[in-house]
Amino acid sequence: MKNAAKQQITVLGSTGSIGVSTLDVIARHPERYTVYALTANSRIDGILLQCERFKPEVAVVGTAEAAQVLQSALRQKGLATEVLYGEDALCQVAGAPRTDTVMAAIVGSAGLAPALAAANAGKKVLLANKEALVMSGQLFIDAVHQNGATLLPIDSEHNAIFQCLPPTYMRSPEHYGIEKITLTASGGPFLTLDLNLLDSVTPEQAIKHPKWVMGRKISVDSATMMNKGLEVIEAHWLFGMPSGQIDVVIHPQSIIHSMVSFLDGSVVAQMSYPDMRLPIAYALAYPERISSGVAPLDLAKVGLLQFESPDYRRFPCLRLAYEALDAGGIMPIALNAANEIAVAAFLEQHLGFARISEVVERVLDKSAGKSTATDLESVLQHDNRARELAKSLIFP
């Protein structure tokens, strides 16, 4: 491939778990990809090393002070990368004419505005930041369609579903003989823990995921299964699937990443060892295939694949997510915002693990009947309102 044909990539959240895996895949294919921009919130040493290696045109960090530190360190090393800071700069690099592909891998609601900016600019959007889609739903999907953007799911389950659906699939399950989709879940570290002990688990225990190495927030979400709940809502928007046709099954080995059931009884599943470089490589090269660095699957070595239904007593967050999706309107925004606050409070040891779902449920109760949010500003207003409500419940 000639230099001119290389994809110019912006990696939003490049110092995170997904960001690092993305750069790993990019580094394997220098003939295909170059990095246009990298962004990090606070890990300046991390993004400095990444800038030395990938030589982006632009780097974005959280604050003016951090930008100054990074800019002078880059100058000292003779690198020409321009350093910007703040949310406007994130939106700028996401929508820049010089980039064609944007990996949206900032965690939580902070990633919404830049992900939406990429969609509005008609980019190929690789969406890891599920919270952005949960919050903005139809707004995001409309931005993709109205601006000719391409939306490719990075979440391993949705990437699996995307791989299993017919290539012409267009968000209408009834036209393709699709009965349901099933998202798999590992069940997290507390799948078999005595229910009475759940409230005394520590952040260290919660973030120690049995199958995936991920950021702290999503690791806690996996332990409560709010992650799967957010993914149910994400699947609804990505694939135009009603909640009644989205199932969840616990599969502790994390080999089957999700599956599609058709009317004739066929079930098409996607399998691999659990490693995010696979969905990232798939989306980067789509519709082609490239190597990802993931070892070939040896099913004889894996041996056993198990499945069980999730227990809502152990995982009330999953039930709450289905309820928020069915209630519609701003309820998914409230669900996500309350969860972000409750998880942060748990990580800072201000809230017991079992109280995460209680906070989310109470915020949902208090948000019921509120209207819809049809633009970014009102999404962020409702997000903020739910955050304040959650804080007032945690710190009365």
Contacts of 78 (CB under 8 A, 6+ apart): none
49-57, 211-219, 310-318, 363-371 -> range binding ligand NAD (CB under 6 A): 211-219
- Does 11 participate in binding ligand NAD (rule CB under 6 A)? no
In order of 20, 118, 171, 225, the CA distances from 254 in angstroms are: 21, 31, 26, 14
Contacts of 51 (CB under 8 A, 6+ apart): 38, 59, 70, 74, 79, 81
- Does 131 participate in binding ligand NAD (rule CB under 6 A)? yes
CA distance 38 to 47: 7
Q: How far is the CB of 154 from Mg ion (least distance, A)?
A: 9
Between residues 249 and 380, which has the closer beta carbon with respect to Mg ion?
A: 249
- Does 224 participate in binding ligand NAD (rule CB under 6 A)? no
- The answer to whether the CB of 338 falls within 8 A of the CB of 390 is yes
Q: Using the CB atoms, write b or e for 164-196: b if 16+ within 10 Å.
A: bbeeebeeebeeeebebbbbbbbbbbbbeeeee
The residues pairing with 258 across neighbouring beta strands, listed in sequence order, are: 183, 270
Between residues 57 and 275, which has the closer beta carbon with respect to ligand NAD?
A: 275
Q: How far is the CB of 149 from ligand NAD (least distance, A)?
A: 18
If DSSP codes are grouped into helix, strand and coil, which group holds residue 247?
A: strand
x-marked contacts with ligand NAD along 66-105 as a string, rule CB under 6 A: ---------------------------------------x
Between residues 94 and 394, which has the closer beta carbon with respect to ligand NAD?
A: 94
Measure CA of the first residue to CA of the last residue in the chain; give whole Å: 60
Give residues in contact with Mg ion (CB under 5 A). 155-157
Between residues 13 and 310, which has the closer beta carbon with respect to ligand NAD?
A: 13
Between residues 156 and 245, which has the closer beta carbon with respect to Mg ion?
A: 156
**Binding residue (CB under 6 A) for ligand NAD from 212, 262, 286, 322:** 212
- Does 276 participate in binding ligand NAD (rule CB under 6 A)? yes
CA distance 89 to 345: 29
Question: H or E stretch including 83?
Answer: strand 82-85
27-35, 71-79, 124-132, 381-389 -> range binding ligand NAD (CB under 6 A): 124-132
**Binding residue (CB under 6 A) for ligand NAD from 8, 15, 159, 163:** 15
CA distance 294 to 257: 14
Question: H or E stretch including 216?
Answer: helix 216-224
* 18 binding partner (options ligand NAD, Mg ion, none; Cβ < 5 to 8 Å by kind): ligand NAD
Q: CA 116, 118, 119, 120 torsion: positive or negative? A: positive
- Does 107 participate in binding ligand NAD (rule CB under 6 A)? yes
**Binding residue (CB under 6 A) for ligand NAD from 95, 120, 124, 155:** 155
Site residues for ligand NAD per CB under 6 A: 13-19, 40-41, 43, 62, 105-107, 110, 128-131, 155, 212, 214-215, 218, 276
